[in-house]
Structure 1
Amino acid sequence: MHSTRRAALALALASPALAQPQWPSRPVRMLIPYPPGGPTDILGRIVAQRLTLDLGQPFVAENRAGAGGSIGAEAVARAAADGSTFLVNASARVIVPHMVRLPFDAMADFAPVTMIAAVPLILVVPVSSPARDVAGLVAWLRQNPAARSYASSSNGGAPHLAGEMFRLQSGLDLQHIPYRGSGQALPDLVSGQVGLMFDSMASSADLVREGRLRALAVSTDERVPAFPNLPTMREAGFPDYEITTWYGIWAPARTAPAIVGAMHHAVAAALRHPETMARLGALGAIPGGQPPETFARFAARENERYARLVREAGIRAE
């Protein structure tokens, strides 16, 4: 890391109210509340690796899966607010609380740091599926009730809500099959045990490129550079369809603003690094890096949006 970047980080921590050694003075844990192999894990590890190189302290990506991401989130909420533990989570973090009662306050018990990236969802089917486009998929499912199952990475994640939006707008009676992360769902999708999935592009893009899955559409309102020939769901005949998943970093509440600010600056710099940008671009991810205040306002708006969607769709924990 260049001396100027180290100096800037030191200035961010130059607060007389901060009665502790300069951060980071020891290894930092970045808890990922899902199993290895999914998009949250992939993106979290990309950032952790860059931070380790830039800051000279290990940033350790640690998987703490279970309960739709709530176990790992609770561990961070209860962790010491000393800059040694952060949460890396997906937009499920502002969805799950509207489905189940949690042993922590999803908003008040965390200090927003920044967004890592926003990532399109991609509608994928097994290569054994006869569907070559979304219209063909709908026609096939209407004729084959046994094939009407969709996988998701967890209850309450954006892929789950994307599947429910598809169910409501297509009029199909689809069965939701939740998994503990995309890494566990994708093998069953590849083998044809489930019929379709709206997955984060970060975890399924390579399988599409390798010809192990077939992509039919993206969930965003515009096409994405990573797959420019892939239509949007709106172009495929669903004019009201749009949903994107995103990934962010949070600290325990009461973490010193100087530490939150320093972490934000470090992550923003990591996201601007050419190698990181190339890795995110290959995954179809749009880098974040917003200041904590901006990210906090965005998360609050998403929290309200998903509260309405969960209520209107009648989604319940399974």
Structure 2
Amino acid sequence: MAAIGCAAGTPARAEEAWPARPIKLVVPWPAGGPTDIFGRVVARELAARLGVPVVVDNRAGATGTIGVQHVARSQADGTTLLFANTTAVIGSIAALGEAPKPFDPVADFAPLGLLVETAVVLWAHQSTGLASFEQFLARARDRAQPPVPFGTTGSGAVSELAVEQLGRHFGLNLLKVPYRGTAPQVADLAAGHVQVGAADYPVAEGHVQSGRLRPLLVIGKERLPELPDTPTSAEYGITEPDFTIWNGAFAPAATPAPILARLRQELQQIGRGDAFRAVAEGKGNRLIFQAGAEATARLQAELAGRRAFDREASAHQG
């Protein structure tokens, strides 16, 4: 078998066969969270279609930037890919403000396909006695009581931005409790170690059915069919920026066009297939497929919106 070698960040030679060796799919979050769950299905289905192993590599840390940066600096030969969400690709960079950036979400990557959008919900542990968003507002506005511990998944995450957004809009007294990912945050929330948190519906679903977690608010514009009685943040006058979370796949920007085209074709089919639909359809999710220029335009718009939000948050704190 001919070796596939090239300098980091440079494309493989056009004449080299692809895929000729295993592919690594980097997930920049711990195992068990929604991005990891989606990514593992994509890896399994992609391996079957390409005829080579596709191995999931969880590289968590720094709100996803460790894993994303690793892919940005990898060889652009189609053997190292990224499966990530809005927080890791966009939110983490927007939160850095004017500080040096470990990667550029637009320039360093070629979007292979955004596959699914997920609604984020504000949850309360049953022990709090909070059964509605109005009750939460009353408790978090009560300055005679300690701040409400609010679980987040790091700077730039939707859960973190929800603290800023809700706190600023309603004048709430909240205490951020950071976690390395959604799965550990929800585990502590379900155990009652933290009172309130914002997390994707699919991760919290089992705890809702058991009664340990109660939905208070959908962070978004539309109510969820699964939670028809839970209001949205838009109903309370909060409409921008859009905090819907997407999950999708990326390759280093210099990856050869034929490889990108093949991967986009396969990912579109995977996103429509039964295996992916079984884990991603419903449950607060909406199946999509955005790739190429369409996905790039979305990244640019969301990055601009997040940066504007973070500037306003900094000005408010100042």
* TM-score, scaled to structure 1: 0.87
Q: CA RMSD in A?
A: 2.0
Cα distance, 1:227 vs structure 2: 2.9
SS at match of 1:277: helix
Distance 1:268 1:216, change over 3 A: same
Distance 1:234 1:298, change over 3 A: closer
2:237 counterpart residue number: 239
After superposition, what is the alpha-carbon deviation per residue over 1:177-204, rounded to whole angstroms, capped at 9, x for unaligned? 2110011111221222222111122322
The answer as to whether partners of 2:91 and 2:306 remain within 8 angstroms in 1 is yes
Q: Distance in 2 between matches of 1:138 and 1:277?
A: 36
SS at match of 2:78: coil
Distance 1:202 1:34, change over 3 A: same
Q: Distance in 2 between matches of 1:275 and 1:88?
A: 17
2:214 counterpart residue number: 214
Which moves more between the two structures, 142-151 or 191-200?
142-151
Cα distance, 1:302 vs structure 2: 0.6
Cα distance, 1:59 vs structure 2: 1.8
Cα distance, 1:287 vs structure 2: 1.6
* TM-score, scaled to structure 2: 0.87
1:136 counterpart residue number: 135
Distance 1:220 1:256, change over 3 A: same
2:188 counterpart residue number: 188
1:273 counterpart residue number: 273
Q: Distance in 2 between matches of 1:86 and 1:232?
A: 35
Q: Distance in 2 between matches of 1:221 and 1:207?
A: 24
After superposition, what is the alpha-carbon deviation per residue over 1:28-67, rounded to whole angstroms, capped at 9, x for unaligned? 1110111112222122122222222333322211100111
Q: Distance in 2 between matches of 1:28 and 1:228?
A: 41
Q: Does 1:157 align with 2:153?
A: no
Q: Does 1:96 align with 2:95?
A: no
The answer as to whether partners of 1:218 and 1:231 remain within 8 angstroms in 2 is yes
Q: Does 1:53 align with 2:51?
A: no
Q: Distance in 2 between matches of 1:314 and 1:194?
A: 26
Q: Distance in 2 between matches of 1:315 and 1:83?
A: 42
The one of 43, 46, 65 equivalent to 2:60 is: 65
Q: Distance in 1 between matches of 2:271 and 2:203?
A: 18
Give the letter for the 1:218 counterpart.
Answer: V
Give the letter for the 2:237 counterpart.
Answer: P
1:145 counterpart residue number: 145
2:37 counterpart residue number: 42
Structure 2, unmatched stretches of 5+, are: 1-12
Alignment of 1:13-24 (within 5 A): 18-21=14-17, 23-24=18-19
1:255 counterpart residue number: 255
Q: Does 1:126 align with 2:125?
A: yes
SS at match of 2:128: coil
Q: Distance in 1 between matches of 2:86 and 2:309?
A: 13
Give the letter for the 2:172 counterpart.
Answer: L
Which moves more between the two structures, 71-80 or 287-296?
287-296
Q: Distance in 2 between matches of 1:265 and 1:151?
A: 38
SS at match of 1:177: strand
Cα distance, 1:160 vs structure 2: 1.2
After superposition, what is the alpha-carbon deviation per residue over 1:266-304, rounded to whole angstroms, capped at 9, x for unaligned? 111011012322321243211222231211111111111
Q: Distance in 2 between matches of 1:57 and 1:315?
A: 50
The answer as to whether partners of 1:111 and 1:253 remain within 8 angstroms in 2 is yes
The answer as to whether partners of 2:106 and 2:296 remain within 8 angstroms in 1 is no
Q: Distance in 1 between matches of 2:50 and 2:225?
A: 31
Q: Distance in 2 between matches of 1:41 and 1:154?
A: 17
Which moves more between the two structures, 96-105 or 151-160?
96-105
Give the letter for the 2:65 counterpart.
Answer: S
How many residues were matched structurally? 297
Cα distance, 1:27 vs structure 2: 1.8
The answer as to whether partners of 2:123 and 2:214 remain within 8 angstroms in 1 is yes
2:294 counterpart residue number: 294
The answer as to whether partners of 1:119 and 1:244 remain within 8 angstroms in 2 is yes
Distance 1:201 1:315, change over 3 A: farther
Which moves more between the two structures, 196-205 or 76-85?
196-205
The answer as to whether partners of 2:38 and 2:279 remain within 8 angstroms in 1 is no
Q: Distance in 2 between matches of 1:88 and 1:159?
A: 20
